[in-house]
Structure 1
Amino acid sequence: MSADDGGFGEGIATSDGDPRVLLGLNAVLSTLLGWTLIGGLSFLDVVAFSIINVATAAILVFTLTYAVTMA
């Protein structure tokens, strides 16, 4: 192996990655953030803690994150 092979750094710099991984991570992290937000607001008696509210918050966060990262 010579020094001109580029190596790991060059491979990462030229790789776009798999968009399914991005979408999966976005879905999981958006759900966790939505759960946390609704849980905190429920603790403050602002909204009721329900799966519908958590799902709505997760969808809003997912959509906002997707729009910002794909722009």
Structure 2
Amino acid sequence: MANSQGDPRVLFVMNLVLSALFASAVVWGLDYIGILSFTVELVVAATAVLMVLTYLVIR
């Protein structure tokens, strides 16, 4: 059990949800201070970037 990597589908969904929440918070914060505007496309792009970075870091 200690060497188990877990189910990759569960890890993918966890990464997706947590990255989306973090990306939403970051984009909202940048919108709040007036640097960017909060759009769905920007949140999706930030989520994708965070997911790729997370994947690269854990591998």
TM-score relative to the length of structure 2:
0.92
Structure of greater relative contact order (alpha carbons < 8 Å, 6+ residues apart): 2
Q: 1 or 2, which has the higher helix percentage?
A: 1
Q: How many residues align?
A: 59
Q: Find the structure with the greater CA-based Rg.
A: 1
Structure 2: 5+ residue stretches without partners? none
Q: Aligned to 2:26, which of 37, 40, 47?
A: 37
Task: Give the aligned CA root-mean-square deviation in angstroms.
Answer: 0.9
Residue 21 of structure 1 aligns with an amino acid whose one-letter code is V
- Could you tell me the TM-score, scaled by structure 1's length? 0.78
Q: Match for residue 58 of structure 2?
A: 69
Q: Percent identity?
A: 37
Runs of 4+ in 1 over 4 A off after TM superposition: none
Q: Give the distance between the partners of 1:27 and 1:62, measured in 2 at CA.
A: 7
2:35 counterpart of 1:46? yes
